Amino acid sequence: MNQVLNTARIELLSPRLANQIAAGEVVERPASVIKELLENSLDSGAKRIDVDVEQGGVKLLRVRDDGNGISADDLPLALARHATSKIRNLEDLEQVMSLGFRGEALASISSVARLTLTSRTRDADQAWQVETEGRDMAPRVQPAAHPVGTSVEVRDLFFNTPARRKFLKTEKTEFDHLQEVIKRLALARFDVAFHLRHNGKTILSLHEAHDDAARARRVAAICGAGFLEQALPIEIERNGLHLWGWVGLPTFNRSQADLQYFFVNGRAVRDKLVAHAVRQAYRDVLFNGRHPTFALFFEVDPAAVDVNVHPTKHEVRFRDGRMVHDFLYGTLHRALGDVRPEDQLAGSVTTAIVRPSGIEAGEFGPQGEMRLAANALLEQPQAQPAFNTSSGASAGGAYQYQYTPRVQSAVPAAEAQAAYKEFFAPLPEANANALPAGQEDIPPLGYALAQLKGIYILSENAHGLVLVDMHAAHERIMYERLKIAMASEGLSGQPLLVPESLAVSQREADCAEEHAAWFQRLGFELQRLGPETLAIRQIPALLKQAEANRLVGDVLSDLMEYGTSDRIQAHLNELLGTMACHGAIRANRRLALPEMNGLLRDMENTERSGQCNHGRPTWTQLGLDDLDKLFLRGR
């Protein structure tokens, strides 16, 4: 084989073979074709796109739009490789605004299918049509009837490459992939109407969405009404970065990452830097093995992002990846931390917009979470917490508690107590369905009624019954307080009696020197002994049991890849979480009503109190409708 390769002459590939090789990169399945065709339609200024599909897209793919169209002289050129109207020079490539720009899509598609392109410009008297088949690649141009816009019809995909065709999946699987592509583009462009038909049946009918209500309807149609009901809208703009969209509450999670949409300047991407930032933001509020949900739109200067790094344009590269990472992490971390029980009970969280500012708006580095905690400490009220643990323990090893009433609103204490009594008083016979007066003064988690089996707290609020896992809830409260305390007091270092030597690459050693001040703030002291050798002289006192060599090596690896690392913070949080778990109240610990109410009030004031440190829910709401269903009332 080597002899054959060494003696073979170098020859130019035929245009047909070159296009089919290119098609292998661009055209993987019907979904790949529909992506390229829809991107061309959107780049042409279309406001309505109709898609007809037969047999999952293998037999027929037809895309019709009302865009600007293609002139008759340009039709044959549209099917040539590296022919495009979207870029002219290198400067255009450095700040690409269009979805497509390579000029390979139509040529690649036409090399493996029978393609018909019909188009008419606004100033043309009639439309023109060009046809080509994969075998001869000779375009045929002729007059045709067509309104202003363009139609592309692709028939018999892979008819001339049977090896590729037999690798296609079932009709349903191929159509599901195709539909997912359309959904992503429909989310990216709210101003365009999308209509999809499969085998003559209407599947999607999405009209233009110009206001918030219409955009919410489109998101619900694509992601499901459940997502919109359990999503938190966010919008923030800072330092030329603009992020908006919806992030699912931690309780609305999935077993796989199939409800995650992220767009950069209108382009759907799957980027590991973005995935890492989101994973960090959900770190201690998501149950193990579950995936968050989100539909986020990120807008940045086109010159600050390179979209020409992958043939399918699914990946991008940011000029300042660290700034983007910290901006995304900080924004999502703060938004999720600000969710309180009243937000989850509001019934329509889509009406709220979270706009962090100042430090909370994106000035997050590797030590961002500690800065957040320190900032939260400054904002804490001076009053004592409602649910306190004393240093003394009872004979059974349980902590002692003291209840300090706290009124959430500006209502005086006497009026709040009156509202409390009125809320629990029987309703008048004449108007049994009316809501009691003063109900707006009832706290979100209501007032405790009883304790069940020493594990759950039963509470009544304006919506019905609240069930609280008291250990999980108190664990989160203590955990957040420990993080705040650590941020305010800082991290003390533990010098090593015998410094540990760590072999690294020269780039990693340079990275350690560059971030020396950051390591020092976290309690580490690193010294460079040689071009590829570091000495670890000090580690954080809280992590004295950790494997210093492995931890520093992993942190350096993260810094090289993402420009930031949360491994040290993750180890510290794991330790604090263990301390909180051991310090939280245990099952069968009997609490008095004032103590239960104190725990409820603290939950309402604690960040991320909806989940314990392990991502499990701490409370749930059973409305009157839910209770009525259990007893078949009203049926």
CA 130/CA 134 separation, integer angstroms: 14
Whole-number pLDDT of residue 129: 92
Instruction: Show the tokens assigned to 59.
Output: 């037999």
Largest alpha-carbon pair distance within the chain? 101
Q: Are 556 and 368 in contact (CB under 8 A)?
A: no
CATH topology of domain 15-206: Heat Shock Protein 90 (3.30.565)
Q: Give the list of residues 6+ apart from residue 344 with CB closer than 8 angstroms, or none.
A: 249, 251, 610, 621
Share of the chain above pLDDT 70, in %: 74
CA 348/CA 563 separation, integer angstroms: 37
Q: Domain map of the chain by residue range?
A: 15-206, 212-364, 398-426+439-635
Residues of the chain with pLDDT under 50: 1, 4, 348-437
CA 275/CA 546 separation, integer angstroms: 27
CA 448/CA 229 separation, integer angstroms: 27
Whole-number pLDDT of residue 491: 65
CATH topology of domain 212-364: Ribosomal Protein S5; domain 2 (3.30.230)
Q: 617 forms bridges with which residues in the sheet?
A: 611
CA dihedral of 267, 273, 279, 282, whole degrees rounded to 10: -70
Domain 398-426+439-635 = CATH 1.10.150.20: no
Whole-number pLDDT of residue 312: 59
Whole-number pLDDT of residue 368: 46
Whole-number pLDDT of residue 308: 67
What amino acid occupies position 156? D
Whole-number pLDDT of residue 148: 94
pLDDT digits (tens, 9 = 90+) for 307-358: 766 655 677 888 888 889 989 999 999 898 888 888 777 654 433 344 443 3
pLDDT digits (tens, 9 = 90+) for 108-146: 888 888 999 999 999 988 999 998 876 556 677 889 999
Count of H helices and E strands in the chain?
Answer: 22, 22
Q: Give the list of residues 6+ apart from residue 571 with CB closer than 8 angstroms, or none.
A: 543, 546, 551
Q: Which residue has the tokens 């992601």?
A: 223
Instruction: Show the tokens assigned to 375.
Output: 């900032």
Instruction: Show the tokens assigned to 371.
Output: 């800065």
Whole-number pLDDT of residue 25: 63
Domains 212-364 and 398-426+439-635 share a fold: no
CA 506/CA 543 separation, integer angstroms: 26
Q: Using alpha carbons, list the distances in angstroms from residue 54 to 49, 115, 155, 175, 548.
A: 17, 15, 9, 9, 59
What amino acid occupies position 533? T
* 3-state DSSP helix/strand/coil % of the chain, to nearest 5: 40, 20, 40
pLDDT digits (tens, 9 = 90+) for 139-195: 778 899 999 999 999 999 988 888 788 888 999 999 999 999 999 999 999 999 999
Q: How many CB atoms lie within 10 A of CB 232?
A: 23
Whole-number pLDDT of residue 559: 78
